[in-house]
Structure 1
Amino acid sequence: MSIPASVLYPPFNIVRLSHIVLTVTDIKVSRAFYADVLGLQVTAEDDKRVYLRALEERGHHCIVLEQGDHGVANELGFKVFDEEHLDRAAKHFETQGLPVQWVDAPHQGRTFRTRDPLGIPLEFYARMDRLPPIHQKYALYKGVKPLRIDHFNCFSPDVRASVAFYNSLGFRVTEYTDTEDGSELWAAWMHRKGGVHDIAFTNGLGPRLHHVAFWVPTPLNIIDLLDLMSTTGYVGNIERGPGRHGISNAFFLYIRDPDGHRIEIYCSDYQTVDPDLEPIRWDLKDPQRQTLWGAPAPRSWFEEGSNFRGTELRVSKLKSTPIVAP
């Protein structure tokens, strides 16, 4: 089976993923979870929003929590190379018949919002407020010691269509899963920044956010987080892991925030900067695809996710299923 061809000279330059906006139902409870348990640093806040960054990041925020009536996912944020590329991006989406709305995004420069063809809300900017470095202020390190935001993973009802669109923006496939007969894409991992992925797509009811991931220094930080969560009232928020993925080779843990948004804690994947890097194929029924050690994921991992604001859900076109834990 062929995957959509990479576009090495896209119409504008996306540097990397940047941030995500999540609506939460109790801003104080969510603040405590992300700041006190995970260890993200609060950079600004009021009664309706909390902005946080991880310890290696110089940008003002990698996650924004907004108070609301229901827990939903909002914009997935991406940084482009400069203001010229921001204008080129807006023009590109307009020519594709996709909406472009310029917005006032606090702590960011010129910013516009759009949606991909399946309905995922996206946000693009070139400049964000820069903050002093804190990566050597070790007294601030707590929780799982998150260093940076790493990737988004989304359910897609049409993985091939998602891959084709993001390929056209310069994302490149690093690993993928196809169906049993090899005729169709079931999942794919795509990058801009030189890791295994900035965004990934998994077959399922969607589009929905599956998870947002944060990079941590070592697997031992994940063990520390498990000890912390299990003794501070969060044991029920531990969903899957720890373990090592077959795909990406990364060490992982999946947890849920107070509104059910899924967070992956992630480290130890590999470099993918070469433009001619060949994608790695995985069989859907390979037990080492999900976890190198062979343990299957729970059913919740394949069925539950965060709805995107204002996005209509579609049933997946594929009926193939992976191995699911009993």
Structure 2
Amino acid sequence: MIDHPEPVYDIAQLGHTELHTPDLAASVAFFTEIYGLTLVGETPGAAHLRAWNDDVLSSLTLTAHDEPGLGHLAWRATSPQALHRRVAALEEHGVRGWWHDGDFGHGAAYRFVGVGGHLQEIYFDTEKYVPTPDTTPALPNQPQKFAPRGAAAAHIDHINLLVPDVAAASRFQQETLGFKLRERLVPAGRDEVGAWLSVMTKAHDLALTKEPAPTQGRLHHLAYSVPETSDVIRAADIFLENDVFIEFGPAKHSRTQGFFLYVYEPGGNRIEVFTGGIHIFSPDFETVTWDTESQGRGTAWGMPVPESFHSHATPPYVPAGAEVTA
């Protein structure tokens, strides 16, 4: 009989993220007017936003900074007890994080730096969104009234981080926070270059991609989902009409099988509109290992992957001694 480790289900979801932007006003305008989020609060140097189907008050903070990139990402635990179990697991793993009293929209959180250099936190107490008379939905099982604006991003979905050692970063998330490795990319004769992990039944809440530069802590992209494939196509038209550069898509991923579209927001961060993706209900799902792209193609239907998708990340990497150009 094979001895399987006890699965951990202490992390429920990607709760929120913080993105740095060198142009806060332009980033806020993009996310509210074009991407379709709603501004729900402001604090000095920061704006807090939500998507119409997020049940929490805020899922995204934009913070003024001299360069773009990830401020931090936050995982919500399934209970107060689960939060403390994961903190204990982190500390047993040798992680020395720290508690803080909370931030806009949520309570106490434990912050730490993960393998790969990204600032992460876990928390439980959160402020739920309370609709106003104007945003009260007709159906009580929706957080708010559906009144689409721009691409009408529905809720926060996943994040992709660049890491120097994909296998090590993947093991860390699995061993300390209970992530399940769903798919991985290991080209013949090379180290692992991609991993897709989730905490519950989704195709992925977290993607890890091989960092191409001698640095760490960088962001590849942040994704919000929309309900239908047609919503992704509609988003492409909205980006076109608003002079937003479309980097990649619409198309279908091989890994995760999600339908996607990638753009850059004005601060420089890559943002995805995503829908679909496989859902995993089997408790003994076996990790799918890819050794190459499917039939030599980078996407399910053969759309080529642009070079920028492998090179652009935030913050930009500037080699020591290199001249910075505006």
TM-score w.r.t. structure 1 length? 0.85
Paired with 2:295 and 2:250, the residues of 1 have a C-alpha distance of 16
Q: Deviations over 1:173-215 (max 9, x none)?
A: 111111223x642211100131100101112233421111111
Instruction: Select 1:247's aligned residue among 255, 262, 266.
Output: 255
Q: Deviations over 1:134-163 (max 9, x none)?
A: 547555212222111111111121111111
Instruction: Select 2:108's aligned residue among 107, 110, 123.
Output: 110
Distance 1:286 1:299, change over 3 A: same
In structure 1, the partner of 2:96 is 99
Matches within 5 A, 1:1-326: 7-10=5-8, 13-104=10-101, 105-132=103-130, 135=142, 138=145, 140-168=147-175, 169-181=177-189, 184-205=191-212, 206-234=216-244, 237-287=245-295, 290-307=298-315
The one-letter code sitting in structure 2 at the alignment partner of 1:147 is A
User: 5+ unaligned residues in a row in structure 1: which ranges?
Assistant: 314-326
Shift, 1:85, TM fit: 2.1
Paired with 2:263 and 2:305, the residues of 1 have a C-alpha distance of 13
Shift, 1:299, TM fit: 1.0
The one-letter code sitting in structure 2 at the alignment partner of 1:197 is H
- Counterpart secondary structure, 2:282: coil
Cα RMSD of the aligned pairs, angstroms, is 2.3
Q: Is the 8 A contact 2:41 2:48 kept in 1?
A: yes
The one-letter code sitting in structure 2 at the alignment partner of 1:62 is S
Paired with 1:126 and 1:101, the residues of 2 have a C-alpha distance of 15
Distance 1:266 1:289, change over 3 A: farther
The one-letter code sitting in structure 2 at the alignment partner of 1:213 is A
The one-letter code sitting in structure 2 at the alignment partner of 1:66 is T
Distance 1:18 1:290, change over 3 A: farther
Shift, 1:288, TM fit: 6.0
Paired with 1:201 and 1:8, the residues of 2 have a C-alpha distance of 23
Aligned residues with identical type, % of pairs: 28
Q: Is the 8 A contact 1:31 1:50 kept in 2?
A: yes
Distance 1:289 1:275, change over 3 A: farther
Paired with 2:35 and 2:242, the residues of 1 have a C-alpha distance of 12
Q: Is the 8 A contact 1:6 1:173 kept in 2?
A: no
User: 5+ unaligned residues in a row in structure 2: which ranges?
Assistant: 132-136, 320-326
Shift, 1:47, TM fit: 4.8
Shift, 1:99, TM fit: 2.7
- Counterpart secondary structure, 2:193: strand
Paired with 1:38 and 1:282, the residues of 2 have a C-alpha distance of 33
Q: Is the 8 A contact 2:21 2:268 kept in 1?
A: no
Shift, 1:130, TM fit: 0.8
- Counterpart secondary structure, 1:32: helix
Paired with 2:43 and 2:147, the residues of 1 have a C-alpha distance of 21
Paired with 2:79 and 2:97, the residues of 1 have a C-alpha distance of 18
The one-letter code sitting in structure 2 at the alignment partner of 1:88 is R
Paired with 1:284 and 1:26, the residues of 2 have a C-alpha distance of 39
Q: Deviations over 1:37-84 (max 9, x none)?
A: 010122212452111111111111111001122222111110012222
The one-letter code sitting in structure 2 at the alignment partner of 1:9 is P
Distance 1:138 1:87, change over 3 A: closer
The one-letter code sitting in structure 1 at the alignment partner of 2:239 is M
- Counterpart secondary structure, 2:256: helix
The one-letter code sitting in structure 1 at the alignment partner of 2:80 is E
